[in-house]
Amino acid sequence: MVKMLSRSRFFPVWLIILLFLVISIITRITLLASIPASGITFPQAAGAFCIGLLYDSTVAVFVILPFVLQLWLQNDRIYRKRLLPFITAFFIGSTALLLFTNVVPRAFCPPLHTALIVYVVLRFAVYLLLYFVPAFRQRWRAGVLYTGLGLVIFLLLLNAVSEWFFWQEFSTRYNFIAVDYLVYTTEVLGNIAESYPIGWILAGLLVIAALTVYLFRKPVRQSVQQPLPVVRRSLLALVLMTLPLLVYYTVSAKWRQFSRNEYANSLAGDGLFEFATAFTQNELDFYQFYTTLPDTTAFRITREQLQTPNSRFTSNDPYSIEREISYAEPERKQNVVLISVESLSADFMRAFGSTENITPQLDSLAAHSLFFNNLYASGTRTVRGLEALSLSIPPTPGQSIVKRPDNGGLFSLGSVLRSHGYTTQYLYGGYSYFDNMKTFFGNNGYTVIDRSAIPPEKVHYENIWGVADEDLFSLALQVLDSNSATGKPFFTHIMTVSNHRPYTYPEGRIDIPPARQVRQGAVKYTDYAIGRFLREARSKKWFDSTVFVIVSDHCAGSAGSVELPVTGYHIPMLIYAPALLQPKEVNTLAAQIDVAPTILGLLNLRYRSKFFGQDLLHLPPGRERAFISTYQGLGYLRNGKLVVQSPVHRLAHYTPDFATGNATPAPADDTLTRQAIAYYQSISWLLKHRRQTE
């Protein structure tokens, strides 16, 4: 086959398509083999590979475009008839450029001056060889193809390895997270360099790419010698260049959603195709892609769900959820320290069945706190958790509000407490430009403090994500002392970073050596840092008047054979204030968006609320529900049932297994369906019309 194709001038194009498909199939097999207990049946696996082949072919027609253009426009006549005038013009232009560089760049940048001279001389030599040595023309053209092929093969292999690492971390093909990683290259590339032997990996891929080019060197060289009339060459090139346009308008990203097994659906995709889809769809219009109700109906249902004995709607506006919240008890202007912990899954704790003893501090603290054991995170990323904790709104499809433009002046936990005289702050152990945190919190009334506030000599340990959690908490103690000295109550939101790949931390803190670079060690180190922080805080005069809230931003993983496995969203929350609160275990089904109103309820604060979350300690029986989501799947959990909305206008109903995360299809429940639509539609409407502001 290779011998036959080598007789074609377009052999490099066919070779790239073949190699791309082979690499994609091997990648898909490798990903399938790495899934433990995926539950994928043979028909589902076969479907994944067949649909995957379609997506792979779609991407391949884009990859070959540079080679199609080169082989189409490459014409030996230019070397015989048109090159001499070009050489003359190049010589005159280059001489002028070198004269200019003698005046400006030599003083400004000597290496640049030298590089320009080398480039001009080499380029001029190449042109002379092309004109006077006919045999060199074919070698030159073959050499260009060898270089291009080597580069493409290397990049395809690098993408395959990247997909494997991404799959190990997130159990899915590229998505919005990969797009974020493209934006935050410093942290991401640093994380990769600290987590993997990247030098050896790149060297290995270069060797494989070079060997592949060497293996096919003869047919590539032979293809250069094959004549092809300009008309036939143009027709073939135009057909190949039309294919990308054709597939762009015909191939749909939703075709991969062919089964009930999310692993199979992910395998059916192509990483580069999924990346391009995520890049162009970082925000989805709810009204365009999801099932809707009349707006008045949606808001009527939402208002009914938000009505509680201690709340009163402030107007009859059918599109308003603003309520006056009041409590019989007097207000308590206690300080609040909210610690959102990176990737703290519920099943890390002993109370949820863990036997690894990786959260001894939190396990002990749970017995002395309000311990919420039935709480669910809004999403799978830190920004989604920050959105839920600060804005108390259901997750909207696409990117988190934290990452979107024009996200300032929103109604938030910080804005409520600031209006009551609180100092409001956000502390982060990394650089706060990451994930747009500085812009989001800074534009919503928080003072943002990050690792820049820590002198280098006071940093015990750091990796690419930020300083070790103990250093973050040392900074927090200084900030809280300063807050206390002002005499004003304070609200300080602290975001940890250590429980994140590469899972490194200072030596000698816990019994799991950091050299092992395992998540269990990172979890136990963060647990150690929290325990140390609270022990040191007990000696502070502000301790007895402070409420400490410890809650996860999201789980360590959300993989499962269903789109929204409930176990991938189950997180713990502890509210610790020994001088103010009696320990209690709270079993109420709760959403991450309920944290803010619950905190305000503990303070008996009277305020006007636009929150969708509710005070869990004053919630009427039967009103419990939770929201869980991916970037496209919007879940509504209530009464042991799960309603999932997804594009395009899809609704699915499940009975989730809260022990395994699996789910079985369930009959549609019209009441739950309408509630699910109403919540998500209402917040989408309010954000779209800029009504969710202070």
pLDDT-based confidence at residue 89 (cuts at 50, 70, 90): low
Q: Read off the pLDDT of each residue in 508-519 and give the average, rounded to a whole number.
A: 93
**For the ranges 79-88, 512-521, 535-544, which has the lowest average pLDDT?**
79-88
How many of the other CB atoms lie within 10 Å of CB of 327? 17
How far, in Å, CA of 95 to CA of 557, rounded?
A: 60
**Whether the predicted pLDDT of 380 surpasses 60:** yes
Instruction: Give me the sheet containing 650-656, strands edge to edge.
Output: 626-629, 634-638, 641-646, 650-656, 663-665
Sign of the CA dihedral running 258, 262, 263, 266: positive
For the chain, give the mean pLDDT: 86
Stated as kind and residue range, the H or E segment containing 110 is helix 110-132
Residue 372, both tokens: 């919420």
Rounded to an integer, the average pLDDT of 160-167 is 86
Who has greater pLDDT, 163 or 483? 483
| pLDDT computed for residue 196 by the predictor | 78
CB half-sphere exposure, 90, CA atoms < 13 A: 16
Distance CA 316, CA 307 (A): 13
**Predicted local confidence at residue 105, as pLDDT:** 42
Token pair recorded at residue 294: 């009349």
Phi-psi region of 552 (alpha: psi -120 to 50; beta: other; left: phi over 0): beta
Among 87-91, 233-237, 424-428, the range of highest mean pLDDT: 424-428
E strand or H helix at 337: strand 335-341
Q: Which of 160, 188, 185 is CA-nearest to residue 174?
A: 160
Q: pTM value?
A: 0.75
First to last CA, the chain: 68
Residue range 40-66, pLDDT digits in tens: 888 998 999 999 999 999 999 988 888
Q: Please state, in angstroms and rounded to a whole number, the distance separating the CA atoms of residues 58 and 637.
A: 37
Range in 94-108, 271-285, 670-684 with the lowest mean pLDDT: 94-108
Residue 114 CA to its chain's centroid (Å): 43
Whole-angstrom distance, CA of residue 631 vs CA of residue 646: 9
Start-end of CATH 3.40.720.10 domains in the chain: 288-688
Give me the half-sphere count of Cα atoms (radius 13 Å) on the Cβ side of residue 114: 3
Q: Pick 301 or 73 by higher pLDDT.
A: 301
Nearest 10 degrees: CA dihedral of 649, 652, 653, 654? -150
* 350-34-276-435 Cα dihedral, nearest 10 degrees: 30
Give the single-character DSSP code of 513.
Answer: -
Gap between the Cα atoms of 304 and 307, Å rounded: 5
Question: Which of these, 516, 375, 493, 398, lies nearest to 440 by C-alpha position?
Answer: 493
Tell me: pLDDT of 103 over 60.
no
State the architecture of 288-688 in CATH terms. 3-Layer(aba) Sandwich (3.40)
The identity of residue 492, as a single letter, is: T
Collect all residues with Cβ–Cβ distance below 8 Å to 514 and sequence separation of at least 6. 503, 504, 505, 506, 507, 521, 525
The reported pLDDT for the residue numbered 108 is: 40
Contacts of 409 (CB under 8 A, 6+ apart): 443, 444, 693, 694
Nearest to 291 by CA among 677, 684, 685: 677
Whether 80 has a pLDDT exceeding 50, the answer reads: no
Q: Is the pLDDT of residue 248 over 90?
A: no
**For position 575, what pLDDT does the model report?**
98
DSSP letters, 338-397, are EEEETT--GGGSGGGT--S---HHHHHHHTTSEEEEEEE-S-SSHHHHHHHHHH--PPPS
Q: Kindly indicate the confidence band of residue 561, based on its pLDDT and cuts at 50, 70 and 90.
A: low
If you search the block for the tokens 């493409």, which residue do you land on?
152
Average pLDDT over residues 593-619: 97
Among the residue ranges 197-201, 407-411, 415-419, 426-430, the one predicted with the least confidence is 197-201
Cis peptide before 467 (omega within 30 of 0): no
Tell me what pLDDT residue 491 has. Answer: 98
Q: What is the C-alpha to C-alpha distance for residues 53 and 270, in angstroms, rounded to an integer?
A: 8
* Average pLDDT, integer, range 176-191: 64
Averaged pLDDT, 395-412: 91
**Alpha-carbon torsion (250, 251, 252, 254), positive or negative:** positive
pLDDT above 90 for 580: yes
Average pLDDT over residues 580-603: 97
- Closest to 626 measured CA to CA, from 657, 600, 665, 594: 594
Is 120's pLDDT higher than 80? no
pLDDT cut 90: percent of the chain above it: 56
